[in-house]
């Protein structure tokens, strides 16, 4: 079965067609056999939320696959990455108008992501109505969080009546990293204690104990935790009260600046692209240098904090665009982790998955390519077969 995987993000629509048989191969062979049959990405600019209807993009995307020799008639299912599933969606589910409405109701918790995911699912259903469509949720992996990890220290009715709790995100990426780390370390996934750092335009850190999420840095929304490309991450909530009470910004302006104008771009005043920031740093740009130092500090702090949720630490995994490709930043983060027993690593570029720490280092440090498409394709194929059998 061929699966079209659609990954609508805050700035782009990423897509690929994956052969489900390759995804089901053994873990050791899976990566070599699982290269997408074709990939098509569509740039949505800085803010995908401004795009109310991606129907034309979906049609154009399908046309490009047709031209690449992967026609719609060869597909067996469509899978979607959806960021926020709330308490309702704890496992993959077939997409229906009712499911789309429930995902849309969670838009306030992930305004950069759920709205465009809803629009993409509607457009996908309209374009290919004859196929099973499956939603796979980033939050589902974190359904194993213990209560002391997902509750906030706020009045009880905030949780019981308003649903204020930690959900966590990047779960699909973390699930893949956990599986892949077990293969690279040649150890059963159920025995491994990992900290997975997904560093990209959005950033999070998750502690994984035997394949289960036990702590994660993002919270009710994807704003909490590490400093990110355009998002601030965790800051003193009193700062927000101060800005509002003094009338400097209203709630909508504050949300806009926290989502789109903070983080690396806010501190540097120039860009959120780490490659550009490293070049500016080398040229002596003080703001870019400060932005990178802050990013490294916050990432290291969150990795160290996540490690306290594990009985021991077998490995740290770097994934996501920055985690995979920004060797200098990766090495700087690891250099700050000596106090928890992590040995320094070389700032060397790595293009393949693997252990990048010295032989015998404990904990090990790994670089793993984010392959959310494989997890989504696997789940979409599974549910599509169940639907057809039923």
Residues with active-site annotation: 138
Q: Sort strands 203-209 and 212-216 into parallel, antiparallel or unpaired.
A: antiparallel
Q: Which long-range contacts (CB under 8 A, 24 or more apart) does 322-326 make?
A: 322/199, 322/200, 322/203, 322/274, 323/197, 323/198, 323/199, 323/200, 323/367, 324/350, 324/367, 324/368, 324/369, 324/370, 325/349, 326/199, 326/274, 326/275, 326/278
Instruction: Find, among 369, 277, 265, the residue nearest to 46 by Cα.
Output: 265
- Dist. CA 133–CA 10, nearest whole Å: 21
What are the distances in angstroms from CA 42 to CA 10, 38, 200, 375, 381?
12, 14, 18, 21, 24
SS3 386: helix
Instruction: Find, among 289, 258, 295, the residue nearest to 276 by Cα.
Output: 289
Angle formed by the axes of helices 286-307 and 274-282, nearest 10°: 130
- Dist. CA 121–CA 373, nearest whole Å: 16
Instruction: Find, among 93, 49, 106, 103, the residue nearest to 221 by Cα.
Output: 106
Which residue reads 């008639």 in tokens?
A: 73
């Amino acid at each position: 079965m061929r699966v079209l995987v659609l990954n609508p993000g805050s700035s782009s629509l990423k897509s690929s067609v994956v052969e489900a048989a390759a995804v089901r191969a053994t873990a050791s062979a899976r990566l070599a056999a699982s290269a997408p049959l074709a990939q098509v990405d569509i740039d949505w600019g800085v803010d995908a939320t401004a795009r109310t209807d991606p129907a034309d993009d979906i049609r154009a995307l399908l046309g490009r696959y047709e031209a690449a020799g992967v026609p719609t008639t060869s597909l067996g299912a469509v899978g979607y990455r959806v960021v926020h599933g709330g308490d309702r969606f704890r496992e993959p589910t077939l997409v229906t108008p009712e499911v789309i409405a429930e995902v849309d109701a969670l838009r306030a918790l992930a305004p950069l992501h759920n709205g465009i995911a809803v629009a993409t699912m509607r457009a996908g259903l309209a374009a290919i109505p004859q196929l099973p469509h499956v939603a796979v949720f980033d939050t589902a992996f974190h359904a194993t969080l213990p209560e002391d990890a997902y509750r906030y220290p706020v009045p009880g009715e905030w949780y019981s009546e308003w649903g204020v709790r930690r959900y966590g995100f990047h779960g699909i990426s973390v699930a893949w990293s956990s599986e892949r780390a077990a293969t690279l370390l040649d150890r059963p996934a159920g025995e491994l204690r990992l900290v997975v750092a997904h560093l990209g335009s959005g950033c999070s850190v998750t502690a994984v104990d035997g394949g289960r999420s036990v702590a994660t840095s993002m919270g009710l929304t994807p704003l909490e935790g590490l400093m990110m490309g355009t998002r601030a991450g965790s800051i003193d909530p009193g700062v927000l009260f101060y800005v509002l009470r003094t009338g400097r910004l209203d709630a909508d302006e504050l949300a806009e600046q926290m989502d789109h104008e903070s983080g690396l771009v806010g501190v540097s005043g120039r860009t959120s692209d780490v490659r550009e920031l490293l070049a500016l740093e080398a040229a002596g740009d003080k703001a870019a240098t400060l932005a990178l130092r802050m990013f490294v500090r916050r990432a290291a702090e969150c990795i160290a904090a996540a490690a306290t949720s594990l009985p021991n630490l077998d490995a740290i995994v770097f994934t996501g665009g920055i985690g995979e490709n920004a060797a200098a930043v990766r090495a700087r983060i690891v250099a700050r982790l000596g106090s928890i027993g992590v040995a320094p690593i070389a700032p060397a570029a790595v293009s393949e998955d693997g252990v990048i720490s010295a032989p015998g280092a404990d904990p090990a440090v790994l670089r793993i390519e984010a392959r959310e498409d494989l997890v989504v394709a696997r789940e979409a194929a599974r549910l599509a077969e169940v639907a057809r059998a039923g």
